[in-house]
Chains A and B, each alone.
Chain A
Amino acid sequence: DTAVSQTPKYLVTQMGNDKSIKCEQNLGHDTMYWYKQDSKKFLKIMFSYNNKELIINETVPNRFSPKSPDKAHLNLHINSLELGDSAVYFCASSPTGARHSGNTIYFGEGSWLTVV
């Protein structure tokens, strides 16, 4: 019944590896996001998709590639992982993305990525 679910919750991997984090929302929302929360606890938006179309792409290294197979899923693939990629990654979704600034964002529980 979880509205926004992401897997895995914890991931420990070595530098240089490629890994993916999956996200699914069952709320029927049009817009999905990826946020990164680093060790200083700042939440930074990485990507935003509206109906499978990329609408926000912040200054994120191109090692990070989001993939949205349908509007209920937004996966994050990370190539050649670096130590600085260690963070908590949050997936989120909201209804009717760009057209209504009152809409609420629903967050997943986070994926704790540790690169060693």
Chain B
Amino acid sequence: DAKTTQPNSMESNEEEPVHLPCNHSTISGTDYIHWYRQLPSQGPEYVIHGLTSNVNNRMASLAIAEDRKSSTLILHRATLRDAAVYYCITKTSYDKVIFGPGTSLSVIP
């Protein structure tokens, strides 16, 4: 059911940038792209979202392709606390948010 595809897992060295890709080729024009992450034994937490333009916040940056069929979540300096499952979702106007399996990010000290 998920409308996005992500790699199952990725690894990063601590303090290096991480680029987490997401494909959403069937996205509609009004759907936002959201990223959430889930730390072990916790509920998902919001990371960032965008519609067309690239977005930055204190947690991450979101780069959205011009055709909006893909996006990349950028963690500028990975820390051990960034080890989590990262979910890329496209949010419909009816809030039927469908989560895929996400990308499990491991951070190596």
Residues of A whose CB lies within 8 Å of any CB of B are 4, 31, 33, 35, 41-45, 48, 55-56, 90, 92, 94, 97-110
Contacts and interface: CB of A to CB of B under 8 A. Distances in A.
Given A105-B46, A108-B43, A110-B42, A99 B93 contact: yes
A78 B106 CA distance: 36
A43 B95 contact: no
B85 A107 contact: no
Contacts of B30: 101
Contacts of B98: 45
Given A102-B51, A105-B46, 16 more contacts: A43-B87, A45-B98, A55-B94, A55-B95, A56-B95, A56-B96, A97-B95, A98-B93, A98-B94, A101-B32, A101-B95, A103-B95, A104-B34, A105-B36, A110-B41, A110-B42
B43 A107 contact: yes
A56 B103 CA distance: 27
Interface residues of B, number: 26
A53 to B, nearest CB: 13
Interface in B1-42: 30-32, 34, 36, 41-42
Contacts of A106: 46
B93 A90 contact: no
A110 B44 CA distance: 9
25 contacts: A33-B95, A41-B85, A43-B87, A45-B96, A48-B95, A48-B96, A55-B95, A56-B95, A90-B43, A92-B43, A94-B95, A98-B93, A98-B95, A101-B32, A101-B92, A102-B32, A102-B51, A102-B91, A103-B91, A104-B46, A104-B49, A105-B36, A106-B46, A107-B45, A110-B43
